[in-house]
């Protein structure tokens, strides 16, 4: 399960939070955690919305 991230100005950030451990994953195709996130999306899942700062 993942949750979107927001920047300080509350815009959507180019990263996502992996809820199980709170890890912040940048949107970079070479990052294997991001690759796992993309597979999760392909499986039809949707991340939780980000919380406002």
Partner 1 sequence: MAYGTVNTDIVSDSSGGRLAPISSVMRNRIINGAMVIDQRNAGASVTPTTVGAYTYSSVDRLWYLISQSSKFTIQQNAGAITPPNGFFNYVGVTSSAATSVGSGDYFWIGQSIEGFNTSDFSWGTANAKTVTLSAWVYSSLTGTFGGSLYNSASNYFYPFTYTISSANTWTQISITVTGPTSGTWVGATNGVGVRVLFNLGAGSTLSGTAGSWASGSAYAPTGAVNVVSTNGATFYITGVQLEVGSSATGFEYRQYGQELALCQRYYFKVSGSNAPNATWGSGKMTSTTNAGIHAVHPAPMRDLPTWSYGGTVVVEGTSGFAISAIAVTYSSYIATRLGLTISGATAGQGAFATVGSTSSDYIQASAEL
10 binds partner 1 (CB under 8 A): no
Cα separation of 22 and 2, whole Å?
Answer: 9
Cα separation of 36 and 11, whole Å?
Answer: 24
Out of 14, 45, 48, 49, the only residue in the binding site for partner 1 (CB under 8 A) is 14
Out of 1, 12, 19, 24, the only residue in the binding site for partner 1 (CB under 8 A) is 24
CB of 4 to partner 1, least distance (A): 10
44 binds partner 1 (CB under 8 A): no
Cα separation of 20 and 52, whole Å?
Answer: 20
């Amino acid at each position: 399960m993942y949750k979107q991230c927001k920047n300080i100005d509350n815009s959507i950030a180019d990263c996502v939070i992996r809820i199980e451990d709170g890890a912040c994953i940048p949107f970079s195709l070479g990052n294997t955690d991001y690759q796992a996130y993309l597979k999760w999306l392909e499986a039809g899942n949707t991340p939780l919305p980000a919380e406002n700062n």
